[in-house]
Structure 1
Amino acid sequence: MYHNSFSGTDCVFKEFIKKESTFDSVLEEKWVKAQRNGIFRYVLNIQDSKILEGKYQFLIQLNIDRGYRRRSPENITSMNQLFNEKQFNFTKLGSEEQIMNLDNKDDIIAINISPMEYCHSLLLPQRCKQLPQIITRYSLFKAIELFSLSSSSYFRMAFNSLCAYASVNHLHWHLYYLNWRMLLEYIDLEEYAGPVQILEKYPAKGFCIKYSNVQNMDDFVNWAFLIINYLQNAEIAHNVYITRGKLSIVEEYKD
């Protein structure tokens, strides 16, 4: 497996850098190799993609294999559902699915064997602690840290809480490249408190924190975790999405 150590000099938060980072290169190399070696349940084949008409510009994709050949999701009935070692969990992954170690053997990146996009993988923080699918401050920091290693405008990370499309009750984040413009990259936001802004003119209401509005990574994580922890304690199912912003709808990707 590839071993990576994070340092401040690796951090990339600038927009639309043309040069691919070392992390991007290694992730793609390892992911493509795993696909070539037949580790996935299927070879990624998105038959069609379409931007829907309307002001939200939603993207829909046809990925028949993921619908029929992915592992059956775990039955999630509660935001406080405990980790169950008898269910599928990420301690049961084969070594061929594990493609990167991050600083230590307990924080790894593994391929998602039922991919929905290019280089679709999983960040598994503190994997051997067998934590349920509830964001910890540590896992949030690792997700932001990992995101900063990529210089790609197309790199995305996402977290689905219990009762919000999580299919495995074992702490994990999704990461992948999505080569499409998204409304969330340039949508208007309303001020709320401190660096926190509100996503109002969107079907799914939400909070937004821009890295440019905070002092450093610790500050960013503290504000984000304050919101996420409240949602978990209030048993409000939620999703977290990390992407680079754009200045306007007319700005083009530069790559």
Structure 2
Amino acid sequence: MSSSEIYTTSSSTARRYFHTLPWKNRPDIQFSELDSLFRTEWERALRKDVFLHGVESEPRRMPGRRGFVAVLCRSRASHKRKPQSFTNILQKSEPKTFNFTKVGLDEILFYIEDDAHEKSVRTSVIINNSPYEYAHCLLVPNAAECHIQSINIDGIRMGIRVLLGSRHPGFRLMYNSLCAGASVNHLHLHCYYTEYWLPSEAFRMHQIPLKVHEKEFSDMFELEFEDSCVRGFGFVITEVNFDCSLPCIIHTIVQYFNDNNIAHNIVMIRGLPPSPEYIASVDASPDENARSGGASNVDGNPNIPTMKDTGVSPYSGLEAYIPTNLWNCPLVGRIYVFPRVPLYGEKSYTKFHVNVTELFGHLYFGDVSVYESMNENDVVDALNGVSFSEQHFTKVKNDIVKLLSQL
């Protein structure tokens, strides 16, 4: 496939995987068509030498009970394009600054098209030319429109559909608002793969009673602060809510943030169901494996970062971290939405900052001395430092529930 071709998420042949096999079954998991496309086209671009550097990340499991993964990426700190500086989450873009219409054709891998709604959305899948992880890409909806970095309902729906197109438990999709880690003021989401689990997959969540369109909506939660270290909202993606009610709810929350100049991050990942009763079975059978994008063996691929700790498997520690009654459960799609203390000014790639990846336990370091010196308590303090206070978050939560009940 070339950059002129299209993957359509709304076609009758596009598979959606609402559940994936858990990490303990990782060797048995087949790639979906979309997984294979991401990986094949990204590897092709890597061979063309269009990146600023290769994937040189060094991940290690940080000592402690939380299971954080620290990732050292020296080249990203020294080679990455100079980030833009922001002081408002709805800041206007400057025509002379960089945007994604200025990337070379070799940097565009393919397009994802969704024409299931009134407005057709064509998303450009572009390499992140300073990759942080394997197959690190940017998803830019309707790139030619140069929409500022404020996610709209089309971007939210596209992100959900892309997550559901993957069968890999380590596929991560994320969004930074301005003043929350974004470095380019042009609407985009990030995505990449990891071959190891992250603690956010098992965040405990407490249901928020809610009625939307006069119907009970049981898939919205408040994250357990003891687990997440930053107060936020959680959602579970289901066959009922993925295309209409869930994008609408998240977009309403984002609009509230915009109206109140609240910086925010959004995370879309695979994770545990809130309870064993939440799902009954995996939507994978031998015949579906045969129709997938192919085998998923990654052993020996030099472009996939592996744990720095010698002899530690990607799945080590899972038994201690996941409740016994959920150990065999397939994974669901989870979405986290975090209001947070803003990051103003120019972003540094050598200092430790809480951007979106840190919120789900994937910690970026550009400086080896910081990478080696920070411990789990330091990370928790940094996460707590960007969290809203309990009182402030409760007000935000109550305002949002009120807004949603009026939909």
Q: What TM-score, normalized by structure 1, do the two folds share? A: 0.92
CA pair 76-158 structure 1, distance change in 2 beyond 3 A: same
Residues 158, 174 of structure 1: 8 Å contact kept: yes
Which digits, 9 at most, give the CA deviation of each residue in 1:54-89, with x for residues without a partner? 343221111100011110101112112102221000
Which residues in structure 2 correspond to 1:164-203 (within 5 Å)?
A: 164-194=180-210, 195-199=219-223, 200-201=225-226, 202-203=228-229
Which residues in structure 2 correspond to 1:94-173 (within 5 Å)?
A: 94-103=104-113, 106-173=122-189
1:141 is displaced (CA, Å) by 0.7
1:253 is displaced (CA, Å) by 10
Q: Which residue of 10, 16, 19 maps to 1:14?
A: 19
Question: Which residue matches 1:67?
Answer: 77
1:27 is displaced (CA, Å) by 0.9
What is the CA RMSD across the aligned residues, in angstroms?
2.1
1:242 aligns with 2:268: yes
Question: Which residue matches 2:360?
Answer: none
Residues 89, 263 of structure 2: 8 Å contact kept: yes
What secondary structure sits across from 1:28 in the alignment?
helix
Question: Which residue matches 1:54?
Answer: 64
Which residues in structure 2 correspond to 1:200-219 (within 5 Å)?
A: 200-201=225-226, 202-212=228-238, 215-219=241-245
AA of the residue aligned to 1:153 = P
Q: Which residue of 28, 31, 49 maps to 2:42?
A: 31
Residues 18, 239 of structure 2: 8 Å contact kept: no
What secondary structure sits across from 2:90 in the alignment?
coil
Structure 1 residues without counterparts, runs of 5 or longer: none
1:246 is displaced (CA, Å) by 2.1
1:223 is displaced (CA, Å) by 1.9
What secondary structure sits across from 2:6 in the alignment?
strand
Deviates more, 1:210-219 or 1:173-182: 210-219
CA pair 215-253 structure 1, distance change in 2 beyond 3 A: closer
1:95 is displaced (CA, Å) by 0.5
Residues 200, 271 of structure 2: 8 Å contact kept: yes
Question: Which residue matches 2:6?
Answer: 3
Question: Matches of 1:188 and 1:136 in 2, distance apart?
Answer: 28
Question: Which residue matches 2:390?
Answer: none
CA pair 214-234 structure 1, distance change in 2 beyond 3 A: farther
What secondary structure sits across from 1:243 in the alignment?
strand
Q: Which residue of 242, 246, 259 maps to 1:233?
A: 259
Residues paired across the two proteins, number: 253
Structure 2 residues without counterparts, runs of 5 or longer: 22-27, 114-119, 211-218, 274-320, 331-407
Deviates more, 1:95-104 or 1:118-127: 95-104
Percent sequence identity over matched residues?
Answer: 28
What secondary structure sits across from 1:53 in the alignment?
coil
Question: Which residue matches 2:391?
Answer: none
Q: What TM-score, normalized by structure 2, do the two folds share? A: 0.59
AA of the residue aligned to 1:4 = Y
1:139 is displaced (CA, Å) by 0.9
CA pair 19-213 structure 1, distance change in 2 beyond 3 A: closer
CA pair 130-215 structure 1, distance change in 2 beyond 3 A: closer
Residues 136, 191 of structure 2: 8 Å contact kept: yes
CA pair 123-131 structure 1, distance change in 2 beyond 3 A: same
Question: Matches of 1:28 and 1:213 in 2, distance apart?
Answer: 26
